[in-house]
Amino acid sequence: MCVEFYLITKKAGAKMSLLWKLIAASVFMLVTGYIGEAIYPTEKQSWIWGFVSGLAYFYIVYLIWFGDVAKLANNSGAAVAKANKTLAWFVLVGWAIYPIGYIAGTEGGLFGVRVLEGLSLDVVYNIGDAINKIGFGLVIYALAQSDKSSSAQS
């Protein structure tokens, strides 16, 4: 999904370094989250790995909302800026479903309380995937359509 941010801002001059930044942050987020979930799922360890994974997620949020991606999107015209804003909301809210899965799936979880104990990790992640991947795809599709019609008009 991070690749899509690079692709939609490429027209405004996004460089490969931005793509690598997004990929590196995603990998860091996923690997540290995996360590907390699968390798050290104790209350003590899951807290720190979950939080560090959260920081990488927040770095992506930062790039999309306030950083390089936001600046490039704002310079790419109204349609890209609007699509970027929608995608940014997906990342901020939609991606937050994954930490909920993390809380459900690890002993003690992120908040040190077991409010979601018993809830299946897979259910939460499937809901997250359905919202984020389908929603993300639809936004990109809408952007491509609007770009196509504006190209045809000109």
Partner 1 sequence: MIRILLLLVGLLLLIFHAYISPLSTQTQFVIFLVGIVLLGVPHGAADLLVANQTADHAKRNFSKFSFLFTYVGRLGMFAAILWFLPVIGNFLFIAFAAYHFGETDLHRFKTNTIAGKLFVFSYGLLILGVILLQHFHELKSLFAFFESGRENENLISFIDSKKYLLLSICAVFFFASTFFYFSSTANDQTDSGYFLLQLAVLLLLLFHLPMLIGFTFYFIVWHSVLSLTNIVIYLRRNNVYAPGVILKQIVFYSGLAMAGVSMVGFGGFMFVNTNTILVYVFLGLAVLTAPHMQIMHDMYNRLRLDRQHGL
Chain contacts with partner 1 (rule: CB under 8 A): 25, 28, 32, 43-44, 47-48, 51-52, 54-56, 58-59, 61-63, 65-68, 70, 108, 110-113
- Nearest approach in angstroms of CB 84 to partner 1 is 13
Q: How far is the C-alpha of 30 from the C-alpha of 96, rounded, in Å?
A: 13
For the bound state, the minimum distance from the C-beta of residue 27 to partner 1, rounded and expressed in Å, comes to: 12
Radius of gyration of the chain (CA): 17
Classify residue 42 by its DSSP letter.
S
Contacts of 46 (CB under 8 A, 6+ apart): 36, 37, 40, 102, 106, 107, 108, 109, 110
Residues 44, 47, 48, 50, Cα dihedral to 10°? 140
Nearest-approach distance from CB 44 to partner 1, in angstroms:
8
The nearer residue to partner 1, 37 or 68, going by C-beta atoms, is 68
Residue with tokens 């349609």: 79
Which is nearer to partner 1, 58 or 125 (by Cβ)?
A: 58
For partner 1, the closer CB: 54 or 101: 54
CB of 47 to partner 1, least distance (A): 5
- In Å, how far are 2, 36, 77, 144, 148 from 51, measured between CA atoms? 20, 9, 36, 36, 41
Minimum distance of partner 1 from residue 52's CB (angstroms): 5
Of 54 and 128, which has the nearer Cβ to partner 1?
54
Q: Which is nearer to partner 1, 59 or 98 (CB)?
A: 59
Question: Using an 8 Å Cβ cutoff, are 35 and 87 in contact?
Answer: no
